[in-house]
Amino acid sequence: MPNAFISGTGYYVPPRVVTNDDLRTQYGIDTTSEWIVQRTGIESRRYAEEGVGSADLAVPAAQMAVKNAGIALTDLDMIVFATLSPEHCFPGSGVYLQQKLGLCDGPNAKFVPALDVRNQCSGFLYGLGTATSMVKSGAAKHVLVVGAETHSAALDLSTRGRAVSSLFGDGAGAVVVSATDVDRGIRSWKLGADGRFADTLSQRIWDIRKRPFIPQSAEGVGQVQPELMFAQMDGKLVFKNAVMRMMEVLMEVCVAEGINGTDIDMFFFHQANLRINQYLQQHLGIPDEKVVHNIQRYGNTTAATIPILMAEAVEQGRLKRGMKCAAIAFGSGFTWGAAIIDW
């Protein structure tokens, strides 16, 4: 049975930088940069322009990952696309990415399967586990795993929504998971979910149980109340569960591998809140040089945070072949996951 390793990484963030002060001066949100930084660690984020969707952001990230893997796009056997911000209710973003990458065009067209994963902040790790299983089973040799988000189009950019809207930014990260006979790669991974908290962090734009599934005016125009249209969150409860679950799942994958924290060279924590990650780092005794952060510059890019972190760490020379890494995430659902990777 082959091993599955990350053969290439890539990322892309839109060029428009929106600082904390911009939220106040451009959008009229009653906030301060100090208030946001103190609670989240975020100083700025990126916003895509109108007309740009998650699949658009994913294209340059995917192209970069494929190039760094040393393969051609036509060598891909599958696309796994993790996002909470697809272009439409359906179809998923994976098929749009397939078409935008040119896989459907010309005499060498390759109609690879495209799978969308809807596990929000832990979506990349759910996708990574899926890709690893496909490669190890022999069903695929190269799988493109993408996390991409266009949050800015669905944020309540007003004082009413400031507690949530200040957290999120747009961006995309991608990896290629490939087969190898070398003793390396994605070792142990563990995923979990607790549906008791499904509504604690949610964006319930419609309810398919109702008729009609979106309230309509007398003219048949859909009308959605703000508490349903925009994301809602119980921040204290999310913080408590994030710390507990991320710590638990990290320990589980370490036990599965027979290692402890000192054996890990680099930790990739999901970038939801710098305070959560600093709490985990302090509690676990992880030195600063083993942790990378980019939430200060990008905010929370949900499914894209971990692959962007990895791609930047490779680009900066911090993540090198032979290192042992841990990736950990927690998000809406509640869902969570962790993986140990011999890079």
138: exposed, middle or buried (Cβ count in 10 Å: 0-12, 13-18, 19+):
exposed
- Token duo for residue 140: 């695929």
Q: Please give the backbone phi and psi of residue 322, each rounded to the nearest 5 degrees, phi first.
A: 95, -10
Coil, strand or helix at 11: strand
Q: How far is CA 339 from CA 5, 122, 246, in A?
A: 12, 11, 11
Q: Which distant-in-sequence residues (6+ apart) come within 8 Å of 34 by Cβ?
A: none
Distance from C-alpha of 263 to C-alpha of 325, rounded to nearest angstrom: 9
SS (H, E, C) 129-191: HHHHHHHHHCCCCEEEEEEEECHHHHCCCCHHHHHHHCCECCEEEEEEEEEECCCCEEEEEEE
Query: 313, 68 in Cβ contact below 8 A?
Result: no
Alpha-carbon radius of gyration of the chain: 20
143 close to 131: Cβ distance less than 8 angstroms: yes
Residue 211 to residue 45: CA distance in whole angstroms:
38
Give the active site residues.
121, 270, 300
**SS3 state at 97:** helix
3-state DSSP assignment of residue 116: strand
Question: Which of 275, 270, 293, 278 lies closest to 126 in space, CA to CA?
Answer: 270
- 177, 5 contact by CB (below 8 A): yes
Rounded CA separation 38/24 (Å): 16
